[in-house]
Structure 1
Amino acid sequence: MSGRGRARRAAAVLLLTLTGQAAPALAATPPAGPTVRGSGVVTWAAGAQRLGAGADRAYRLIVKVSAGGSDLRVRLSNAYGDRPLTVDAAHAGLQARGAALKLHSNRALTFGGRHTVSVPPGEAVWSDPLPGRVPAGTRLAVSLRTPHARGPATGHQLALTTSYLGRDADPGGDGDTGWTTATNSWWYLDAVSVRPAHPGAGAVVALGDSITDGWGSTPGLDRRWPDDLARRLRADGTGVANAGMSGNRVLTGDDGDPSAGRRLERDVLSQPGVRTVVLYEGVNDLKAEHGAGADEIVAGYREITRRAHAAGLCVVGATLAPFKGWPQWDPDAEAVRREVNRQVRTGGGFDAVADVDRALRDPRDPARLRPALDSGDHLHPDDDGMRAIAGAVATPSRNCRR
């Protein structure tokens, strides 16, 4: 078949700088489904996936916020559950080391004024605002207990960050007692928001595959390209949320791994304060066993862009990086990749283009990653390559509205 038709198959005290004031009696956002928006601006997120079975245990989930601000909220997701998810304790604190938190930093979260919440199957719920401030770049620990949890759990598989589990651990404690098991996934937590310190600040969501998810970067050091973008945008208070999902495609998927278009509402449009989405997907579509053609992939981009524009967002489209040397590369797949990139650069309907191909390709062989930016598998960039991707992303003005 032609290149168009096929190809072979990314010691502050909860410096929530606490004010000492009583928590306002505000109601939580009602659990009306995963498209419900919280207030403020999303400062951390992870694309929701189906994980293994839920269990009666506690979770201490370590995440790094991007933008700082006040009134921290967390979103708990039961997107893949087949029964209600009960959380009878939820806390937020500052990580000290491992599962231990900075002394006196752990604060109880409430939902509609209550410490217990039931999240219906397929839905999500935001916590009430937690008074105080959290600085940009904070390593936050969100601790949950899920008594009697059964059935499919919702979370994010490739965290590249160590979190902690325990059957007898206390989510409200500061110490590491009872946190007996490490996990490399995030469970039930899929977003964190703050009220930004900078007036008018918004957020960027990176919608992508394993490269955006951070595969190839150093675990535990927050060196995914959205992390690098967050550091670059920190000065103006912009939040950056990572909606990367390993193996994700623009066009096809299933209930446990939905396509980019199917998860757009949940993972991007429902996030509070979003102004811009960076769309960097497509390599999994063209390198599949029965790979999509360039026109099909670009049509998928246009549909996602149309929906994002209808929601008032700016869209940055990214060219696809080379991957010669990966087992599924062949000349047909390369022809599709180059045609996709030509259309992205000249007619994708985006508000801006991030030329990731130009940033990563080897000048001596443009079908390959530059060796100094290659993690070793010829598809996923290393830490330096991740920085190069972030450097290629020029976000449109925060005032760009459709």
Structure 2
Amino acid sequence: MSGRFGRCCVAAALLTLAACQAGPSRPALHPPGAPGPPSGVLTWAAGAERMGEGVAGAQYRMIVHTSVGGGAPRIRFTNAFGDRPLTLDHVYAGLRARGAALRPGGNHALAFGGARRVTIPAGSVAWSDPLPGRVPAGADLAVSLRTPDAGGPATGHELALQTSYTGLGGDLTAEDGGAHWARTTSAWWYVDAVAVRPDRPATGAVAALGDSLTDGWQSTADRNRRWPDYLARRLHAAHGAVQGVADEGISGDQLLTDGTGDGAGQSIPHRLDRDVLSQPGVRTVVLWAGVNDIKAHTGVTAAGLIAGYRELLHRAHAARLCVVAATISPFKGRPEWDRAAEAVRREVNRYLRTRGEFDAVADFDRALRDPRDPERLRPRYDGGDHLHPGDRGMRALAGAVDLKRLDCARRD
């Protein structure tokens, strides 16, 4: 679950990107001639992280799981942490059949402003042109790409909890079959969002913003059992106005501090614009954060965390997004737990429950805690490390979200 990050910061305005390494920030650029952000709604997304070194000539076939169905799918590719331009060619997408194999005849070439090749400046993203056809809800989409001359820091998402595939040599991306995709990767590379044109134009999406608890650590890989996955299934069954779900959790993330080593990268406020505010159709943010700040034992106080919550709240409200705050779940039994940390957790939760500043509160603490020892996870929800819930706990978290509170009048 660890990541490979340098100390980073983001200074981005709405619909712009600026991912920066240590040193001065750089303005974000959209590739000349490439299409701008779509007007549809997110059906899948993952928070962007700095990965290892990019590999020239590498080919990836990444599997992503949709939440809301719709036509004209568009895919966002990211070079947020690159230190040089990233060129992608031989880019394809289609619905998966099984393993690395796609449904016959369903692998379509992607274009970018009509061109089959795109060069993404460092710190930027690029949306593809719309693909033909429709993507169903709850489907696996296979996105295949080649990086002919990649180098320097790559961008992706490390804790995918989804088997994807790699290949070297030849041109595999156009193939429907999976026989030549013999190697696997547990990360997503260079892709961070998929949007569709929904069947109902008013359909919106919710972005789940947090750390490894939201990223799904301790849930079963390849089964889509993170709590945002369970939430997506609840929303699909409810047929409400909010249907899309974007899992923007990143393992090790903190609310107040950028990470300086493995397991932690940009703080949540520093990636809010890129991962949430610039995404199409996002109507609501579910914010679940703070436990990593508390565990770090760096003098974090409840007052400091509350100030961090308020900063995010104000920025999201300025963008007319609803914000649902989730209470911090217990972690007694971990080496980092002590009475002082528990006191901070309880004070933050008291603020979230009682002050009424957020559009709604999801009481994840109450959903997961052991009634006989509220400082611990309920044993049947504990994924084994006394912090992360397993599959049953993930389902309980999704059940603690009031679906009626995921939409509000701020968009009007």
TM-score scaled by length of structure 2: 0.88
Q: Report if aligned partners of 2:206, 2:406 keep a CA contact under 8 Å in 1.
A: no
Deviation of 1:398 after TM superposition, in Å, equals: 3.1
Alpha-carbon contact 1:302-1:348 (below 8 Å) kept: no
- Which secondary structure does the structure 2 equivalent of 1:304 belong to? helix
Q: Tell me the equivalent position of 2:75.
A: 74
Give, in whole Å, the separation in 1 of the partners of 2:70 and 2:344: 44
Residues 123 and 30 (structure 1), Cα distance of their counterparts in 2 relative to 1, 3 Å cut: closer
Rounded to whole Å, the distance in 2 between the matches of 1:400 and 1:276 is 11
Q: Supply the distance in 2 between the matched residues of 1:134 and 1:99 (Cα, whole angstroms).
A: 18
Residue 370 (structure 1) aligns with: 378
1:180, distance to aligned residue in structure 2 (A): 2.7
Contiguous gaps of at least 5 residues in structure 2: 1-28
The amino acid of 1:181's aligned partner reads R
Asked if the contact 1:285–1:291 (Cα under 8 Å) also holds between the matched residues in 2, the reply is no
3-state SS of paired residue (2:376):
strand
Aligned length: 371
Give the match's secondary structure for 2:380: helix
Q: Distance in 2 between matches of 1:228 and 1:171?
A: 31
Please report the RMSD computed on the Cα atoms of aligned residues, expressed in angstroms.
Answer: 1.5
In structure 1, the partner of 2:308 is: 300
The 3 A distance-change label for structure 1 pair 83 and 105 is same
Contact 1:53 1:153 (8 Å CA) reproduced: yes
SS at match of 1:174: coil
Q: Deviations over 1:215-263 (max 9, x none)?
A: 0101110000000000011133610000000000000014871100000
In 1, the alpha carbon distance for the partners of 2:144 and 2:132 equals 17
Contact kept? 2:45, 2:193, Cα under 8 Å: yes
User: Could you give the per-residue CA deviations for residues 41-82 of structure 1, whole angstroms, max 9, x where no partner exists?
Assistant: 011000000001111211000000100000100000000001
Measured against aligned partners, the alpha-carbon deviations of 1:278-321 in whole angstroms (never above 9, x if no partner) come to: 00000000110314111111110000010000000000000000
Pair 1:261-2:266 in alignment: no
State the structure with bigger RCO (CA 8 A, min sep 6), 1 or 2: 1
Of residues 75-84 and 88-97 in structure 1, the stretch that sits farther from structure 2 once superposed is 88-97
Corresponding position of 1:328 = 336
Instruction: Structure 1: state its 5+ residue gaps.
Output: 1-28
Residues of 1 paired with 2:218 and 2:174: CA distance?
Answer: 35
Code of the aligned partner of 2:376: R
Deviations 1:14-39 (A, max 9, x none): xxxxxxxxxxxxxxx9438xxx6332
* 1:1-400 to 2 correspondences below 5 Å: 30-31=30-31, 37-55=37-55, 56-168=57-169, 169-234=171-236, 235-236=239-240, 238-254=243-259, 257-347=265-355, 349-395=357-403, 396=405, 398-400=407-409
Deviation by residue 1:153-186 (Cα, 9 ceiling, x = unmatched): 0000000000001112511110113213100000
| Superposed displacement of residue 131, structure 1 | 2.0
Give the conservation status (yes or no) of the 8 Å contact 1:201–1:398.
no
Q: Deviation above 3 Å: which 4+ runs of structure 1?
A: 29-32
TM-aligned CA distance change 1:181 to 1:366, over 3 Å: same
Deviates more, 1:39-48 or 1:91-100: 91-100
Asked whether the 8 Å contact 2:101–2:177 carries over to 1, the reply is yes
Residues 326, 348 of structure 1: alpha-carbon distance in 2 compared, 3 angstrom cutoff: farther
- CA distance in 2 between counterparts of 1:69 and 1:380 reads 33
**Alignment partner of 2:133: what SS?**
strand
Q: What's the offset of the Cα at 1:94?
A: 1.3
Q: What TM-score results when the alignment is normalised by the length of structure 1?
A: 0.90
CA 1:245–1:397 in 2, change beyond 3 Å: closer, same or farther?
closer
